[in-house]
Amino acid sequence: MNDANFQFVATLANDVQEAIFAVLRNHNLSQNAAFFSARDLPENASKPLNIVTFDARGTVIGGLIAETQFAWLKVSAMAVAEQSRRRGIGRRLLELAEQEALSRGCHHVYLETMDYQAPEFYRKLDYHLATILRNWDSYGHSKYVFTKEFSGFQASEERLKTDG
C-alpha cells in the first residue's frame, strides 16, 4: 500500500474507466465463470417486455417497461395516468408481464418504487419487501425494493437446504 497513489478524478479517461471495469470483470469471471459465460451467449441476452395501455381514443394511459433474463423479470417502470387509476389497469399490467415472464422461463420479479409511488399496491399483489433505502433522494423519500416468486417455484436456496 505504500506505493499506492490515490487521486480524486472528476472525469475518467475511457482507458482508465475500462481498466477499472476490467479488474472487476476478471474477478467476477474467476468467481462465477459459468454465469458470465452463459450471460454472454446470444440466447441469454436480456429481452424487452413492454406493455402499453390505450384508452378508447387510442391515447396512452399507462404501461410497463421491463426485461427478462434467465429466471428474472426486472420491471424498470410502470405507470398509469391519474384519471385511469383504481380501475385494475396496474394490476392487469403486472399480471400480463408475469404471465409472459413465466412463458419465458422466469421464476422471480424484481422492481423498485418510491414511498410516494405505490409500495402498498405491490404488497397487495404478493410482492415481498427486500429492502428499504431510506432518504434515497436526499429529500426524505425512501426507495422500496420488492421481489416476487411465482407460485409453485421453490427457491434454489430452499432446494439446497432440502437436498443437502
pLDDT in tens, 85-122: 999 999 999 999 999 999 999 999 999 999 999 999 99
Tell me, yes or no, if the pTM score tops 0.75: yes
**Per-residue pLDDT tens over the stretch 74-85:** 999 999 999 999
A 10 A CB-CB count for 75 gives 24
For residue 1, tell me if it sits in a domain: no
Total domains, the chain: 1
Q: How far is CA 64 from CA 77, 79, 91, 101, 111, in A?
A: 6, 7, 11, 13, 11
155 Cβ neighbours under 8 A, 6+ residues apart: 149
Residue 87 placed within a domain: yes
Q: In this structure, is residue 11 part of a structural domain? A: no
Domain assignment of residue 93, yes or no:
yes
Residue 117, in any domain of the structure: yes
| DSSP letter, residue 83 | G
Instruction: Specify the CATH number for the domain of residue 72.
Output: 3.40.630.30
End-to-end CA distance of the chain: 42
**Residue 35, domain member (yes or no):** no
Task: Look at residue 20 and give its three-state secondary structure.
Answer: helix
Supply 17's cell numbers: 474507466
Q: What are phi and psi of 161, to 5 degrees?
A: -65, -40
Exposure string of 122-133, with b = 16+ CB inside 10 Å and e = fewer, is beebebeeeeee
Residue 79 structural domain: 45-163
